[in-house]
Amino acid sequence: MLVQSLILAAIHAMVPLTVTATGEILSERAGVVNIGLEGILLISAFTAVIGAEAGGPLAGLMVGLLTGALLGLIHGIIAVYFRGDQTVSGVGLNILALGVVAIGIVDRWGAAGFHRVDRAFRVQPLSTPLGAMSPMVIVTILLAALTWYLLQHTNLGLKIQACGENPAAADAAGVRVERVRMFGAIYAGALTGLAGAYLSVDWLATITENLPAGRGFIALATVVFSRLNPWLAVVGGLIFGFFDALGLIASTSQELTRIIPYQFIQMMPYVVTLLVVAGVIGRFRSPSASGQAYRRE
């Protein structure tokens, strides 16, 4: 039973990490880095609940996606057209989210801190041999496949990589660098928004003042782990999700905690994160111009 709980928990924990990381992979390939993913997750989770309560779970997911796309657009305009500092803009998103959602919950539902999403407005799970599973698990795999194909096998994918590696050369070759980078920023925002909606109208059926609780940052670690390959983002999401769940699940077992102190077990996800990020990536080189504004000569 514990093993089954563990597998299901790891798969569900993977979804927000992998979906967010997949979007960010494309954006970083194009040259725009967004460390405001945590903030986008939170704001989208909030708006998704409003959308779901107005038009059902699918509307909730779409509203989350569009909210994320809009926030990605804002980040993109700052990074691409105003050539602003991408780190500052990302941090700004994270801070903005904490304020907006805390006030938004009070304003919308009259209760401080949280709101639970009624069953009628949430995504219904699928029945699988393993147990109830969110359909978003399949969507996650499809998104990783789509993004991989887009990057590796399309003309747009080539342009994206050119803009991240050498925007000046891409520009000289006739690629509209700004537009391609804007596409990346919006794509990352949209996928992160979808992941945020998954948190609130699917997985947890709740909105709180800090619902992602750091998952936007773990997604950034997943991006590093993935070496900007969407398939590895699936693997990374599973690894992080697995160890996070392992600590919690092992700590509920009296048999296990008798042998190993639970504090040690709960430390493991962090140790693994460090090991994975420090060890596995090795000498990976990120795109030369990633995170830098492009200024036409």
Q: Hey, is 208 helix, strand or coil?
A: strand
From the list 26-34, 80-88, 104-112, 186-194, the region that binds another protein by CB under 8 A is: 104-112
Cα(40)–Cα(128) distance, rounded to whole angstroms?
31
- Interaction residues for another protein, span 225-284 (CB under 8 A): 244-245, 248-249, 251-254, 262, 266
Whether 39 contacts 216, CB under 8 Å: yes
Cα(24)–Cα(201) distance, rounded to whole angstroms?
22
Q: Which is nearer to another protein, 114 or 149 (CB)?
A: 114
- Interaction residues for another protein, span 111-150 (CB under 8 A): 111-114, 116, 119, 125, 131-132
Cα(237)–Cα(10) distance, rounded to whole angstroms?
9
- Taking alpha carbons only, the member of 273, 197, 215, 271 closest to residue 24 is 215
- The least CB distance from residue 252 to another protein, in Å, is 5
Lookup: tokens for 70: 């809009």
Containing 183, the helix (H) or strand (E) segment is helix 177-198
From the list 63-71, 84-92, 142-150, 209-217, the region that binds another protein by CB under 8 A is: 209-217
- The least CB distance from residue 18 to another protein, in Å, is 15
- Taking alpha carbons only, the member of 12, 41, 82, 85 closest to residue 195 is 41
According to CB under 8 A, which one of 77, 100, 106, 141 is a site residue for another protein? Answer: 106
- The least CB distance from residue 239 to another protein, in Å, is 16
According to CB under 8 A, which one of 144, 175, 211, 224 is a site residue for another protein? Answer: 211
Whether 44 contacts 202, CB under 8 Å: no
Q: Which is nearer to another protein, 105 or 228 (CB)?
A: 105
Amino acid identity of 141? I
Tell me: does residue 53 bind another protein (CB under 8 A).
no
- Interaction residues for another protein, span 12-31 (CB under 8 A): 13
From the list 8-16, 48-56, 181-189, 287-295, the region that binds another protein by CB under 8 A is: 8-16
Cα(93)–Cα(38) distance, rounded to whole angstroms?
8
Cα(178)–Cα(295) distance, rounded to whole angstroms?
10
Site size for another protein (CB under 8 A): 45
Lookup: tokens for 147: 């993004």
Q: Which is nearer to another protein, 107 or 297 (CB)?
A: 107
Expressed in angstroms, the distance from the first to the final Cα of the chain is 62
**Contacting residues toward another protein, per CB under 8 A:** 1-2, 4-6, 8-9, 13, 102-103, 106-107, 109-114, 116, 119, 125, 131-132, 199, 203-206, 208-211, 213-215, 244-245, 248-249, 251-254, 262, 266
